[in-house]
Amino acid sequence: MERKPEAGGIPQTFARCTECGTIYPAQLTDDDNLRPVGTDGSCSCGNDEFEPPALQ
Ligand SMILES: [Zn+2]
């Protein structure tokens, strides 16, 4: 990750749910966690752990 968030609420990257694989637009938090934008911070499946999707 070379880019750093510059403004709140704008997706910077993508996050994939580690449980169901759903991909959300996301922000990278200050402590290097992925936070999906437009949710309460967890996936619709209830999981709150995300990982970067595989790069193409
Ligand atoms: Zn999920």
CA of 32 to the centre of ligand 1 (A): 19
**Would residue 30 count as lying in a domain?**
yes
CA of 55 to the centre of ligand 1 (A): 19
Measured from the Cβ of residue 39, the count of other Cβ atoms closer than 10 Å reads: 15
User: In terms of Cα–Cα distance, which of 52, 31, 33 is closest to 41?
Assistant: 33
User: In terms of Cα–Cα distance, which of 5, 3, 14, 6 is closest to 38?
Assistant: 14
CA of 30 to the centre of ligand 1 (A): 22
**Would residue 37 count as lying in a domain?**
yes
Q: Is the pLDDT of residue 44 over 60?
A: yes
pTM of the model as a whole? 0.72
**Would residue 33 count as lying in a domain?**
yes
pLDDT at 12: 82
**Would residue 28 count as lying in a domain?**
yes
**Would residue 8 count as lying in a domain?**
no
H/E segment holding residue 4: none
Number of structural domains in the chain: 1
pLDDT bin (cut points 50, 70, 90) of residue 9 is: low
What range defines the domain where residue 41 resides? 13-45
CA of 19 to the centre of ligand 1 (A): 5
**Would residue 56 count as lying in a domain?**
no
Q: Is the pLDDT of residue 43 over 70?
A: yes
